[in-house]
Amino acid sequence: MSNNNLNDSGVKLISAGLESPHCKLETLRLSGCLVTEEGCASLASALSSNPSHLRELDLRYNHPGDSGVKQLTARVEDPDCRLVSLRYREAFCQAFFFFCESQRVGNNFLCLSVFDYSYSKQ
């Protein structure tokens, strides 16, 4: 599903499917799908309703915000939740990096580190 303009409205529909006891989906890749805190809240709610199936959730290159990340991380920490891998990277960081990479600060190039955040259950 990655790199689609699903937005939060599309993620809400997917989340409704994840809540079904018949859902057996183990991996959901929503990288680059324009997901914000609202979409993350829908996913967290779905994981709360039906925590037994999804094992990997990839939300890189979206805009989950602090609230969205906290909600999903809380789900990962729930012992009933089978989610073992949550990946996210703020989309704006990558754009900011490419913009700043070419800018000079004095005689030195500005150096930035862009992190790919991952949370895994041990």
What is the reported pLDDT for 74? 86
Residues in CB range of 65: below 8 A, 6 or more apart = 36, 37, 40
Structural domain contains residue 59: yes
Range of the domain at 65: 6-120
Treating both helix axes as pointing N-terminal to C-terminal, what angle do 65-77 and 37-49 enclose, rounded to 10 degrees?
20
Q: Is residue 25 part of a domain?
A: yes
Residue 46, domain member (yes or no): yes
Domain count, the chain: 1
Residue pLDDT, tens place only, 64-87:
888 888 898 888 778 888 888 888
Alpha carbons 12 and 64: distance in angstroms, whole number: 14
Domain of residue 108, CATH code: 3.80.10.10
Q: Please report whether residue 1 resides in a domain.
A: no
* Size of the chain in residues: 122
